[in-house]
Amino acid sequence: MSKNSAKHPVNTRALAAEAVHEVVRNGRSLTQVLPDFKKKCTQPQDAAFLQAMVYGTLRFYPTLAFLADKLLEKPLKDKDFILYDLILVGLYQLMYLRVPAHAALSATVEAARVLERPWATGLVNAVLRNFQRKKDLLQQTLPTNEEAYYAHPAWFIETIKTAWPTEWQTILTANNAAPPFSLRVNLQKITREKFLETLQAADILATALANTAAGVVLEVATEITNIPGFKEGLFSVQDGAAQYAAELLHLSPHLRVLDACAAPGGKTLHLLEKEPLLKEVVAIDISPARTKLIQENLARMALVATVITANAAEPDTWWDKTPFDRILLDAPCSATGVIRRHPDIKYCRHADDPAKLFVQQSLLLKALWPLLKPGGYLLYATCSIIPIENVHVLENFLNEHTNALVTPFALPDGIQQNIGIQILPGKNNLDGFYYACLQKKISEC
């Protein structure tokens, strides 16, 4: 690790290389990694630039790696892989960012010294300058390699080709685009129209999100604490596709609702906002740190729910035997529908993960079904676009549970599946999401 201290002023390129290294080489998520690195930045603009470099380098890592391999005369030693990631950070700046080339070069070269590899300054300088000279020619070679051209791992490209043979290229392109900054207005406190007027008065450009009751999209991403109404609980950050969950649960007053796998609590909040007369909302998550996030979000919005830290798949450890009228199962998944928001998913997931998740998702669904009242509804949701985690889970469940009925519904942005509806990434600028709604037969328990 670098020593960005009095000896070495903060070098954002060095920090970016370290953050990328932690994700790609050590398998850590950006959620785990990036906050600690941003804390090392003394200025907000430096933290924002660091985030842009890390996200961008990870978004286009296969492309940048393909180019770096052509530019390096010989592979770097394992102990110097941090330099490889630094070179990719440099290439990303030269290819995609509006950073003066001389500034990108000098700061990236200096980063090698900060990373305690002073011998490599010449190497980094030579590679990046060589790229500048050969940029056009090198970019013409990208179509010869699918991973480089589409900036996705080979296993993922093949998986998406199989699942979506006519949409796969559109999906991959959408995954590499910058995501919209979407909010959900708390309609219990303010109308969407009034909230948009409040944003306009603060010189924040925004529009209503089509096909949603409370969605808003900001033209430019903004620090949420600087958006009017944050402390007052007037809005939450949530993609439009995720906002459909509360709409699909057939909510009405005096119902008891379970939000399983609820963290960080966005859908929990939406349930309470959409139907303030619910009898109780129980929000459960297996992670203590993540249930703390649920509680913090509830406090900010001045809402009340029963928050439990436990494994939702083991009801005997937490359920009070009082059945639920509605259950939202936002199942753990590969998150392949939200890659544009989390480009680290490309490297933290592997080809065999969806099959493993199928087992976990099926166990959760089977474990929670007995908790649902006859006549009640269970909404199964994932932010995956891989069928084995979605339709296949439901097909397997229905084969074993004759007391479950599929409830049909329509979503303007979705593709009707054998069971449920799939929204693909980028469709009307939404994240990728899958929804299926089941009702328990009244005549059977």
CA distance 238 to 183: 5
Kindly list the catalytic residues: 383
On the question of pLDDT at 318 being above 60, the answer is yes
DSSP state letter for 279: S
Q: Is the CB of residue 423 less than 8 Å from the CB of residue 375? A: no
Residue % of the chain over a pLDDT of 70: 98
Q: Which amino acid is at 34?
A: L
- 6 pLDDT tier (thresholds 50, 70, 90): very low
Q: For 296-318, what is the mean pLDDT?
A: 96
Q: Is the CB of residue 204 less than 8 Å from the CB of residue 170? A: no
CA distance 192 to 213: 8
Q: Which amino acid is at 16?
A: A
User: Which residue has 């991973």 as its token pair?
Assistant: 147
Q: Beta-carbon neighbour count of residue 323 at 10 Å?
A: 17
- 445 pLDDT tier (thresholds 50, 70, 90): very low
Q: Where in the chain is the domain with CATH 3.40.50.150?
A: 244-440
Strand partners, 208: 216
- 9 pLDDT tier (thresholds 50, 70, 90): low
Q: Give the domain 244-440 fold.
A: Rossmann fold (3.40.50)
Q: Is the CB of residue 382 less than 8 Å from the CB of residue 364? A: no
Q: For 317-338, what is the mean pLDDT?
A: 97
Q: Where in the chain is the domain with CATH 3.30.70.1170?
A: 181-237
How far the first Cα of the chain sits from its last, in Å, is 58
Q: Give the domain 181-237 fold.
A: Alpha-Beta Plaits (3.30.70)
Global model pTM greater than 0.85: yes
Among positive and negative, which fits the CA dihedral 201, 218, 216, 44?
A: negative
Q: Give the domain 12-151 fold.
A: N-utilizing Substance Protein B Homolog; Chain A (1.10.940)
